[in-house]
Amino acid sequence: MAQARNIGDVILKIDSISLAFGGVKALSEVSFDVREHEIRAIIGPNGAGKSSMLNVINGVYHPQQGSVTFRGVEHKQMRPHEAAKQGIARTFQNIALFKGMTVLDNIMTGRNLKMRAGVLAQAVWYGPALREEIEHRKAVERIIDFLEIQAYRKTPVGRLPYGLQKRVDLGRALAIEPCVLLLDEPMAGMNVEEKQDMCRFILDVNDHFGTTIVLIEHDMGVVMDISDRVVVLDYGRKIGDATPDQVRGNQAVIDAYLGVSH
């Protein structure tokens, strides 16, 4: 994608991360960096450690070795809520929304960290709490408009088709107004049209809000189309890190995907 975005300095640096669950090595000394405003894809075959990598970045897993440097501050162990507070938002491979709540309320939960009024004031819904809610509602409405889900504003999420639930999931992540957005297979299980819509939204988020995006995706067409740089993992190791075109020609990557005889 030839776009006039200004890709800035390194905002997120992953430094020789190793993660093991008992004897299973999920990640072995993986290092890469993410620059501001770029779209960075992580690809690899099943079980390569892609989702583990995202979980390390936003502090769900704590690696045995290595560190994550976010905006110049080095973290040995990041907690998920700290990550969220610092502006790292994510969506999940298996949608993790509140199925019984409406689209509007689900996205509103993404504003939780930004709410200042106390529990009591919110319960009474008066004065500052009311004003605050109106502000948050405005932000949520802007996201609803952005993602073109006006028709489902008041629909419980559980009743929506899968593709739309994915969109709501993205909406909730956007509600934090993140500077880094981690997307775990945003297009899994979608049909061609839904994938196109989602691509458009990801590019628009990146362009409109300047959000840095780290995404895991299996659809090579999508990855090659929208990402600026690609990291390739296989069996927990980094086997490639380059622009989409270079990755496409990388023998190690081709072998990892097609398999080689040993």
Partner 1 sequence: MPENQAQPDTFPRLLLANAERLRERPAVREKDLGIWQTWSWGEVAMEVRTLACGLAALGFRRGDTLAIIGDNRPRLYWAMAAAQALGGVPVPLYQDAVANEMVYVFDDAEAQFAIVEDQEQVDKLIEILPRCPRLKHIVYDDPRGMRHYQQSQLLGYESLAERGRAFDAAHPDFYAGEVAKGKASDIGIMLYTSGTTGKPKGVCQTHRAFISSAQGGSRFDQLGPADSMLSYLPMAWVGDHLFSYAQWLVAGFTISCPESGDTVMTDMREIGPTYFFAPPRIFENLLTTVMIRMEDASAIKRALFRFFTDVARRCGAEILGRKPVAFADRLLYALGNVLIYGPLRNVLGMSRIRVAYTAGAAIGPDLFRFYRSIGVNLKQLYGSTETCAYVCLQPDGAVSFDSVGAPAPGVEVRIADNGEVLVRGPMLLKEYYRRPDATAESIDADGYFRTGDAGFFDANRQLKIIDRAKDVGKLATGAMYAPNYIENKLKFFPHIKEAVVFGNGRDRVCAFINIDVGSVGNWAERRAIPYAGYTDLAGKPEVYELIRECVEKVNAELAREDTLAGSQVHRFLILHKELDPDDDELTRTRKVRRGFVAEKYAALVDALYSDRAECHVETQIKFEDGRTGTVRADVRIREARILSRAQVKQAG
Which residues in this chain contact partner 1 in the complex, by CB under 8 A?
Answer: 3-4, 137-138, 141-142, 144-146, 148, 150-151, 153-154, 192-193, 196, 204, 207-208
Task: With beta carbons less than 8 A apart as the criterion, state whether 222 and 234 touch.
Answer: no
Of 92 and 146, CB closest to partner 1:
146
Of 17 and 175, CB closest to partner 1:
175
Its sign, for the CA torsion 110, 116, 120, 121, is negative
Q: How far is CA 254 from the centre of its chain?
A: 26
Of 196 and 243, CB closest to partner 1:
196
Of 203 and 224, CB closest to partner 1:
203
Of 1 and 10, CB closest to partner 1:
1
CB of 145 to partner 1, least distance (A): 6
Of 3 and 16, CB closest to partner 1:
3
CB of 165 to partner 1, least distance (A): 16
CB of 198 to partner 1, least distance (A): 14
CB of 202 to partner 1, least distance (A): 12
CB of 208 to partner 1, least distance (A): 7
CB of 150 to partner 1, least distance (A): 5
